[in-house]
């Protein structure tokens, strides 16, 4: 399927013989971007593996999951891999591929694309969403998606990563968020242990201390003659001042993962509005 699509696009470029068909121009770019108009290409394949990361059976499995998302929620879903990003940012490349490929369902071309770029020195991925799908691709959700995807990408386990990704997108559309992870609650467990220790020692310790009321007397405040204290000298001699500058903890410091390069709204080369984010690996 992928090869057919690639061949068709390549043929289109040859037929139109555009001067723009130089090395840095994506082969799937339209001849004249300024004249480009959005269209629905229902026949477009949803998995374009130009970086050759997946086997046929894996692609088939992915396609099943994509179909399920389309059926259940009416949002399109595309996976695109390439060995370069054609001099574009990964975000714009992903958005351009989605728009120029005629992807998206409904009047607003709702859906998203996951672009995996295997270009040396520019390896990374980007999820770009268009139309109503954008409302799901919030910064928190994109970060959560990328947290789940990152270990797969870093370990070279691309197919499993994408399969997980597709499942997570289905969950995201269903619940408006990603499934909770137990590891997200590490700090809650640590808080629970620390609080329990403090309360346990206090609760049991106070009861224990009440069992022994024999102690040495400290101080003689009760035996001071009222009003007899007289401070005859009270000098405060200033010596020096030391200054310590501590960096503020950043709100976006995340545990167990990096921070996604997120954009709430950006435009593709074709003028479409997208949201999304991704990371390098």
Partner 1 sequence: MAVIEYKCPACGAPIAFEPGKQQLACSHCGSSYSIEDLETSAEKTGVASDDEISFDWENFKDKIQDQRLTDTVTYNCKSCGAIVETDENTVATRCPYCDNNVLISERTRGGLRPNAIIPFKITSKALPEAVNSFYKNKKLLPKNFFSESKLREIQGVYVPFWLFGAHVEGELSLNAQRSISFDDGDYIVTETSHFILEREGSMNFARIPVDASVKMDNDLMDSVEPYDYRDLVPFSGAYLSGYLADKFDSPPDEELYRARTRMVDTIKNELTSSAGYIVTGERGRSLKFSDIAVEYVMLPVYLINNEYKGKKYRYAVNGQTGKVVGELPIAMSKYWRRFFTPFVIIFALIALYLVYVFFVR
The residues of the shown chain that bind partner 1, judged by CB under 8 A, are 179-180, 182, 185, 188-189, 192, 195-196, 199-201, 203-204, 207-208, 210-225, 228-248
Pick the closer one to partner 1 by CB: 23 or 244.
244
CA distance 2 to 164: 21
- Cα 88 to Cα 75, 95, 207, 214, 242: the distances in Å are 25, 10, 69, 79, 50
CB of 100 to partner 1, least distance (A): 39
Q: Which DSSP symbol is given to 105?
A: B
CB of 105 to partner 1, least distance (A): 28
Contacts (Cβ under 8 Å, ≥6 apart) of 119: 82, 83, 84, 85
Instruction: Provide the sign of the torsion angle of the four alpha carbons 230, 232, 238, 239, taken in this order.
Output: negative
CB of 143 to partner 1, least distance (A): 18
256: left (phi over 0), alpha (psi -120 to 50) or beta: left
Pick the closer one to partner 1 by CB: 179 or 264.
179
CA distance 92 to 57: 29
Pick the closer one to partner 1 by CB: 99 or 141.
141
CB of 53 to partner 1, least distance (A): 32
Token pair listed for 159: 């197919």
Token pair listed for 160: 């499993």
CB of 190 to partner 1, least distance (A): 11
CB of 169 to partner 1, least distance (A): 19
CA distance 113 to 50: 14
Pick the closer one to partner 1 by CB: 41 or 224.
224
Pick the closer one to partner 1 by CB: 35 or 182.
182
CA distance 112 to 131: 9
Cβ atoms of 46 and 80 closer than 8 Å: no
CB of 236 to partner 1, least distance (A): 5
Pick the closer one to partner 1 by CB: 37 or 255.
255
Q: Which DSSP symbol is given to 126?
A: E
Residue 149: strand, helix, or coil: helix
CA distance 158 to 189: 32
Pick the closer one to partner 1 by CB: 17 or 227.
227
């Amino acid at each position: 399927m992928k090869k057919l699509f690639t061949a068709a696009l390549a043929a289109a470029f040859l037929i139109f013989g555009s001067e723009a068909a130089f090395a840095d121009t994506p082969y799937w770019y339209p001849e004249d971007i300024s004249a480009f108009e959005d269209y629905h290409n229902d026949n477009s394949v949803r998995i374009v593996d130009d970086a050759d990361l997946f086997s046929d059976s894996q692609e088939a499995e992915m396609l099943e999951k994509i179909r399920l998302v389309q059926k259940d929620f009416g949002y399109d879903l595309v996976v695109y891999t390439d060995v370069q990003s054609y001099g574009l940012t990964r975000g714009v490349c992903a958005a351009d591929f989605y728009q120029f490929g005629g992807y998206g369902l409904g009047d607003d071309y709702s859906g998203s694309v996951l672009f995996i770029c295997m270009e040396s020195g520019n390896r990374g991925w980007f999820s770009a969403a268009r139309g109503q799908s954008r409302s799901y691709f919030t910064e928190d959700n994109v970060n959560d998606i990328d947290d789940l995807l990152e270990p797969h990408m870093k370990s070279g386990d691309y197919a499993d990563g994408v399969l997980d990704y597709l499942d997570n997108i289905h969950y995201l559309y269903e619940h408006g968020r990603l499934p909770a992870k137990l590891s997200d609650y590490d700090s809650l467990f640590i808080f629970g242990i620390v609080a329990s220790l403090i309360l346990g020692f206090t609760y049991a310790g106070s009861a224990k201390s009440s069992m022994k009321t024999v102690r040495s007397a400290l101080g003689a405040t009760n035996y001071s003659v009222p009003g007899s204290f007289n401070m005859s000298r009270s000098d405060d001699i200033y010596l020096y001042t030391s200054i310590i500058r501590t960096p503020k903890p950043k709100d976006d410091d995340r545990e167990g993962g990096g921070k996604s390069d997120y954009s709430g709204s950006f435009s593709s080369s074709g003028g479409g509005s997208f949201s999304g984010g991704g990371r390098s690996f």
